[in-house]
Amino acid sequence: MLHGTGVGRGAVVGPVVQVHGAPEIDPQEQVGADAADAHRVMAEAFDAVAARLGEQAAAARGTLAEVLGATAQMAADPALRAQTLARVDAGEPAVAALDAVVDGFAAMFEQAGGYLAERVTDLRSVRDRVAAHALGRPAPGVPVLERASVVVADDLAPADTAGLDLALTLALVTERGGPTGHTAIIAGQLGIPCVVQVRGATDLPEGTEVAVDAAAGVLTVDPDDAVRAAVESRRVALAQLGEDTAPGRTADGHDVALLANIGTAEDAERLVDAAVEGVGLFRTEVLFLGRDAAPTEDEQVATYARVLTALGRRKVVLRTLDAGADKPLPFVTQPGEENPALGVRGYRLVRVAEELLRTQLRAVARAAEQTGTDPWVMAPMVATADEARRFAELAREAGVRTVGVMVEVPAVALRARDVLAEVDFVSLGTNDLAQYTMATDRLRGELADLLDPWQPAVLDLVALTADGGRAADRPVGVCGESASDPLLALVLVGLGVTSLSMAPSAVPGVRFALGRHTLERCREMAAAARSARTAVDARAACLALADADVREVLALG
Ligand SMILES: C=C(OP(=O)(O)O)C(=O)O
Ligand SMILES: [Mg+2]
């Protein structure tokens, strides 16, 4: 068995497919016996890579097909090939020759900017593939899946996950990455079981059968019949939970809205028939990613209107641009920041790019008017009541009616009452709140124990925020990953949180857990968790108070 940190409750069995990183290449490594042989091997490598990518593009769909098709064209590019082979003929080591030619093209592309600059990643991917082929190493990158598989990687970049064939991806397993990192968030969004921080996963041979249990954070290699049967019964139990479409409510009828986190209009459209009460976090920065400039106001209006239309009369909480630190955007990145997580990020960008925020707020107000809806709008990374007031002014000036801020900085939790005097609601971003409370980079998977949202210090800050909400009679939601943990969700409700927003795939488990516990029991759990001195003890204390069926069906331990 291999252990890691699980994301989601699902379990699956399937064969391993490894995602290989770029091959480690010594540029002086010789290919073939002499220059003529190297010429032949390299020419053959270009042909093989172009042909394989072409075949894969033909077999793929959507974005994946486009990405593969463009990369195949680049591998077949006559100039790239001719220049490399000319250097090889002149006696240069073949891989070094390829590297130098690719570097030359990359520099040209980067200088040209725009579309061409974005192709540099494809160009380097062609180089890695051709070099790997010539040296007889496995092809790098996300392989094209031929059957339903468990995809294993050291870590996956957002671009890698875009290249996954979701219909055939049973689970994602990574050696690195944290539970609030990109792979985990995307897996949650797509409802794919995921385990991160699994030491030894990349050593598993291709095709090895593994059982992936996201609830337990465990991989079982060559599972026996008993493990397979347990996986199947979990699948059936979770499928049954998915049939309950009632609103979120405790066993004694206390309402807690269950909302979805989304990043794109497509995510919103997938919710049209989903049993969620709305969207509690629309991460609008996704629309800004991978571009040289912000989308225009009209483009933003169109996207926001699509989201609002998909949700109809359901609630939508839209978050304004959260750029910087773990979500860098080239056009607003502040040069020379040594600690970007503590720098000009999130709402603070208003200091250097106020028009960006004003444009976005206008776009939201126009989309709201167009669709006859009333979205709530909140700012990320607010640190003071003053900032909350200024954001509320800007939003109201633009025509937004309901304005809030995220609680991600401990200072805001500590002064929640002051902040709630300025805005209509707050939403706890527990991913960043844990990062800043525990002074622990959320992207450093190896520090996951410190980042654990069960840390009593983080729960204390949630409690303070909820107290502020109660005193002001204003809603306090949670939209960090902690809302998707069914046991922790009960604690959050016990602390006084009024809505929970999570990956849509997590909603059925949380709904089920809520429905089996009274508000009083949630409060007992919250008190027990806060009395504990460690994250592990906090969870254990709550588990002891949890309903037996819930423990069993959701494999809570
Ligand atoms: C919801 C949050 O925002 P993000 O994960 O996008 O930073 C959070 O920080 O908890
Ligand atoms: Mg955040």
Among 84, 113, 134, residue at a domain's last position: 134
Nearest CA to ligand 1 atom 3: 429
Q: Would residue 556 count as lying in a domain?
A: no
Q: Would residue 30 count as lying in a domain?
A: no
Torsion of CA 198, 203, 205, 209, to 10 degrees: -20
Q: Would residue 160 count as lying in a domain?
A: yes
Please work out whether the CB of residue 524 comes within 6 Å of at least one atom of ligand 1: no
Domain shared by 334 and 471, yes or no: yes
Domain shared by 124 and 219, yes or no: no
Domain shared by 6 and 70, yes or no: no
Ligand nearest to the CA of residue 478, numbered in listed order: 1
Q: Could you tell me if 137 and 23 are in contact, meaning their C-beta atoms sit under 8 angstroms apart?
A: yes
| Coil, helix or strand at residue 480 | coil
Domain shared by 359 and 396, yes or no: yes
| Number of domains comprising the chain | 3
Please work out whether the CB of residue 220 comes within 6 Å of at least one atom of ligand 1: no
Nearest CA to ligand 1 atom 10: 429
Residue to substitute in 267, 432, 452 for testing ligand 1 pocket (most ligand atoms within 8 angstroms of CB): 432
d(CA 190, CA 151): 14
Q: Could you tell me if 303 and 290 are in contact, meaning their C-beta atoms sit under 8 angstroms apart?
A: no
Tell me the residue range of the domain where 94 lies: 35-134
Please work out whether the CB of residue 181 comes within 6 Å of at least one atom of ligand 1: no
The catalytic site residues sit at: 182, 479
Segment holding 234, helix H or strand E: helix 225-241
Domain shared by 39 and 123, yes or no: yes
- pLDDT for the residue 115: 62
CATH value at residue 171? 3.50.30.10
Cα distance from N-terminal residue to C-terminal residue, the chain: 17
442 annotated to bind ligand: yes
Please work out whether the CB of residue 432 comes within 6 Å of at least one atom of ligand 1: yes
Q: Would residue 536 count as lying in a domain?
A: no
What's the one-letter identity of residue 487? L
408 annotated to bind ligand: yes
Please work out whether the CB of residue 188 comes within 6 Å of at least one atom of ligand 1: no
Let me know how long the chain is. 557
Q: How far is the CA of 284 from the centre of ligand 2 (A)?
A: 12
Q: Which residues contact 86 (CB under 8 A, 6 or more apart)?
A: none
> Mind listing the pLDDT tens digit of every residue in the chain (557 residues)?
999 999 888 999 999 999 987 777 777 888 888 999 999 999 999 999 999 888 877 876 665 677 677 788 888 989 999 999 999 999 999 999 999 999 998 888 777 765 666 677 778 888 988 999 999 888 887 788 889 999 999 887 655 666 678 889 999 999 987 776 767 777 877 789 999 999 999 999 999 999 999 999 999 999 999 999 999 998 889 889 989 999 999 999 999 999 999 988 988 999 999 999 999 999 998 888 767 789 999 999 999 999 999 999 999 999 999 988 777 777 887 777 888 899 999 999 999 999 999 999 999 999 999 999 999 999 999 999 999 999 999 999 999 999 999 999 999 999 999 999 999 999 999 999 999 999 998 877 778 889 999 999 999 999 999 999 999 999 999 999 899 999 999 999 999 999 999 999 899 999 999 999 999 999 999 999 999 999 999 999 999 999 999 999 999 98
Q: Would residue 7 count as lying in a domain?
A: yes
Of 362, 483, 477, 469, which is closest to residue 416 (Cα–Cα)?
469
Q: Could you tell me if 379 and 356 are in contact, meaning their C-beta atoms sit under 8 angstroms apart?
A: no
Domain shared by 287 and 214, yes or no: no
Residue to substitute in 262, 431, 478 for testing ligand 1 pocket (most ligand atoms within 8 angstroms of CB): 431
Distance of CA 263 to the CA centre of its chain: 9
Per-residue DSSP letter, 131: H
Domain shared by 130 and 150, yes or no: no
Q: What is the largest CA-CA distance in the chain?
A: 81
Domain shared by 200 and 275, yes or no: no
Domain shared by 453 and 310, yes or no: yes
Q: Would residue 512 count as lying in a domain?
A: no
Q: Would residue 373 count as lying in a domain?
A: yes
Q: Could you tell me if 279 and 261 are in contact, meaning their C-beta atoms sit under 8 angstroms apart?
A: yes
Please work out whether the CB of residue 280 comes within 6 Å of at least one atom of ligand 1: no
Please work out whether the CB of residue 478 comes within 6 Å of at least one atom of ligand 1: no
228-244 per-residue burial string, b: 16 or more CB within 10 A, e: under 16: eebbeebeebbeebbee
On the CB side of 514, how many CA atoms lie within 13 Å of its CA?
Answer: 29
DSSP-assigned letters across all residues of 388-429? HHHHHHHHHHHT--EEEEEE-SHHHHHTHHHHHTTSSEEEE-
d(CA 21, CA 347): 35
Q: Could you tell me if 123 and 102 are in contact, meaning their C-beta atoms sit under 8 angstroms apart?
A: yes
Phi, psi angle pair for 384, to nearest 5°: -140, 165
CATH value at residue 44? 1.10.274.10
Domain shared by 78 and 161, yes or no: no
Ligand nearest to the CA of residue 481, numbered in listed order: 1
Nearest CA to ligand 1 atom 8: 429
| Coil, helix or strand at residue 149 | strand
Question: How many C-beta neighbours within 10 Å does residue 369 have?
Answer: 13
Nearest CA to ligand 1 atom 2: 429
CATH value at residue 477? 3.20.20.60
Q: How far is the CA of 312 from the centre of ligand 1 (A)?
A: 25
pTM metric for this prediction: 0.79
Question: How many C-beta neighbours within 10 Å does residue 208 have?
Answer: 17
Among 212, 239, 266, residue at a domain's last position: 239
Among 99, 134, 169, residue at a domain's last position: 134
- pLDDT for the residue 541: 98
Vertex 547: Cα angle to 544 and 553 (nearest 5): 110
Distances, alpha carbon 60 to alpha carbons 64, 164, 171, 391, in Å: 6, 10, 19, 44
ipTM of the prediction: 0.99
Q: How far is the CA of 78 from the centre of ligand 2 (A)?
A: 46
Per-residue DSSP letter, 249: B
The residue to which tokens 């990062």 are assigned: 435
d(CA 377, CA 427): 11
Torsion of CA 432, 435, 439, 444, to 10 degrees: -130
Q: Could you tell me if 258 and 247 are in contact, meaning their C-beta atoms sit under 8 angstroms apart?
A: yes
Please work out whether the CB of residue 430 comes within 6 Å of at least one atom of ligand 1: yes
Q: How far is the CA of 441 from the centre of ligand 2 (A)?
A: 12
Domain shared by 393 and 259, yes or no: yes
Distances, alpha carbon 480 to alpha carbons 201, 262, 435, 534, in Å: 27, 12, 11, 20
Nearest CA to ligand 1 atom 6: 283
Domain shared by 229 and 371, yes or no: no
431 annotated to bind ligand: yes
319 annotated to bind ligand: yes
Q: How far is the CA of 97 from the centre of ligand 1 (A)?
A: 44
d(CA 124, CA 130): 10
Q: Would residue 511 count as lying in a domain?
A: no
d(CA 416, CA 477): 13
Please work out whether the CB of residue 503 comes within 6 Å of at least one atom of ligand 1: no
Residue to substitute in 479, 481, 485 for testing ligand 1 pocket (most ligand atoms within 8 angstroms of CB): 479
Q: Could you tell me if 7 and 187 are in contact, meaning their C-beta atoms sit under 8 angstroms apart?
A: yes
* Closest ligand 1 atom number to CA of residue 281: 1
Q: How far is the CA of 323 from the centre of ligand 2 (A)?
A: 10
